[in-house]
Amino acid sequence: MEVYMDNAATTRAYPEVVQLMNKIMEEDYGNPSSLHMKGVEAERYIRRAREILAGILKVEEKELIFTSGGTESNNLAIIGGALANQRAGKHLITTRIEHASVYQPMMFLEQMGFEVTWLPVNAYGLVDLDALREAIRPDTILVSMMCVNNEIGTIEPITDAAAIVKECNPNTLFHVDAIQGFGKVVLHPKRIGIDMLSVSGHKIHGPKGTGFLWVRDRVKVQPLMLGGGHQKGMRSGTENVPGVAGMAKAAEIEYTDFENKLEYLYGIRSYFIEEIEKLEGTVVNGGRSRGSLNRPAEDQQDACAAPHVVSVSFQDIRAEVLLHALEETHVYVSSGSACSSNHPAISGTLKAIGVEKRYLDATVRFSFSFDTTKEEIDECVAQLSRLLPMLRRYTPGGRKRGGKRV
């Protein structure tokens, strides 16, 4: 039995997405910038994608910029936003638990002379909103914060954060990395007070290499891709018609019957946590409560969690060893952000939330989709139950003498 529990890394494309993309590549393959009928047909797919995505977000179609994925969207928002608004100031704010596609652009801008404030988080991964309020200055031009943490699943209080940003400095831009949030929470960025929002297609059962950045009308962003003036000069390059259409189709499917899907997925998550905590030497990281963007930020006793990500630390076992042991049983998980898997390092998120040192290299991410079944959960837990005692016999902290761990 194959059990895929790495959906936060990427998802399997919906059959309807594959079918639509195949049709476009085989039949409606024109360049959307061409003036002949083939080009017109291709342009229709782009327009339809704009209609679908704008409808989901409750925004204007002209405010969407199609990109090659979440990384490009985040880079365009942060670097493009900072460069376009640097006359108003050079102070930027983000958190200590951001994805590399946010914190590395921030570090790049630091090297260019910008100043970055890195906000702390609590043990659940919730950003310190008091620190945010204190950090905003007259020269603060951009705040960037993720919607859902990609490693521990915590939903950040972006509604409250947006209110604070606009209260303290109405001219400060507020960017949200919604790459793990889109398709798992209801997002209406204009109503919240967001200025820019990043989305990736392959996290929602769409194709890899697709994404978009929503930019509120009249927000200034300097383009990073130059050459053909496509998308009103904001992102040059021939549009990826099958990819854009496939991403929009996936989003449409994802948000159909959404509340029932969420109810199911939160049930799967709760069941998984209940079963995993029966195993010896396990610690679940992050919040437990069902998620919402509108939960009062002052509730610090727990944190809202997205329905699809669970971070678990395993005593006396290296994450990489467990990952490959599970792989041998056809159970697929991740030891952290897959985007950084080729560059192993201790997770900045785990350090930021205060995970004990002995667990920093012993944490595995399990991530689900709306298609994950209870039977798959049972198989995963059964394999863990079999593997954990065996693996602990061969680790220094897990060796036993006289039947007791020393």
Query: What amino acid positions are annotated as catalytic residues?
Result: 339
* Domains assigned to the chain: 3-10+257-405 (3.90.1150.10), 15-254 (3.40.640.10)
Contact 363, 285 (CB under 8 A): yes
Contact 203, 182 (CB under 8 A): yes
Helix axes 319-328 and 374-392, enclosed angle (nearest 10): 120
DSSP class of residue 347 equals: -
Angstrom distance (rounded) from CA 120 to CA 118? 7
> Is 0.85 topped by the overall pTM?
yes
pLDDT of residue 20: 98
Distance of CA 173 to the CA centre of its chain: 20
pLDDT of residue 406: 29
List the structure tokens of 77.
């928002």
Contact 282, 317 (CB under 8 A): no
pLDDT of residue 356: 87
pLDDT of residue 219: 98
Helix axes 37-57 and 241-254, enclosed angle (nearest 10): 30
Angstrom distance (rounded) from CA 34 to CA 235? 17
pLDDT < 50 positions in the chain: 296-298, 300, 341, 343, 400-406
Nearest CA-CA partner of 103 in 82, 86, 78 = 78
pLDDT of residue 339: 54
pLDDT of residue 217: 96
pLDDT of residue 402: 34
pLDDT of residue 295: 55
